[in-house]
């Protein structure tokens, strides 16, 4: 995931190449948060789909079970929110500027 941006730094006439990471700690923290949100969304989707689509009692009585709402509506929204956090983690600027030496 890291690109090797070579940056010359001179110390007493010697040339050293310093490798600079593309993402900072903040980016990786947001990526882990996004992965956790996506995992929670998929965990919410787990279960037997028979109780959602093939349960005749639910359709006859008109009652809507909580599990069908969670599996069909809320879980995909949570997964999409996790992907949005992942995109944000790519675009968020690191607190350390590129011009500053580390």
The residue with tokens 């500053």 is: 100
Indicate whether 5 belongs to any domain: no
The count of structural domains within the chain is: 1
The residue with tokens 């995992």 is: 39
Residues of the domain holding 82: 24-91
Summarize pLDDT for 4-24 with one digit per residue, the tens.
Answer: 555 555 556 667 777 778 888
The residue with tokens 């069909």 is: 72
Return the pLDDT at 4: 56
Q: Which two tokens stand for residue 10?
A: 């001179």
Indicate whether 7 belongs to any domain: no
Indicate whether 101 belongs to any domain: no
Indicate whether 66 belongs to any domain: yes
Give pTM, 2 decimals: 0.63
Q: What is the mean pLDDT of the chain?
A: 76
Percent of the chain clearing pLDDT 70 (strictly above): 58
Return the pLDDT at 83: 98
Indicate whether 34 belongs to any domain: yes
Return the pLDDT at 54: 57
């Amino acid at each position: 995931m890291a690109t090797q941006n070579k940056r010359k730094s001179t110390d007493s006439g010697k040339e050293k190449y310093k490798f600079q990471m593309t993402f900072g700690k903040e980016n990786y923290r947001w990526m882990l948060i996004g992965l956790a949100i996506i995992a929670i969304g998929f965990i919410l989707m787990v279960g037997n789909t028979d109780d959602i689509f093939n349960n005749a009692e639910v359709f006859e009585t008109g009652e809507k079970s909580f599990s069908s709402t969670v599996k069909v509506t809320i879980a995909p929204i949570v997964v999409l929110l996790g992907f949005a956090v992942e995109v944000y983690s790519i675009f968020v600027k690191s607190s350390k500027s590129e011009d500053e030496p580390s």
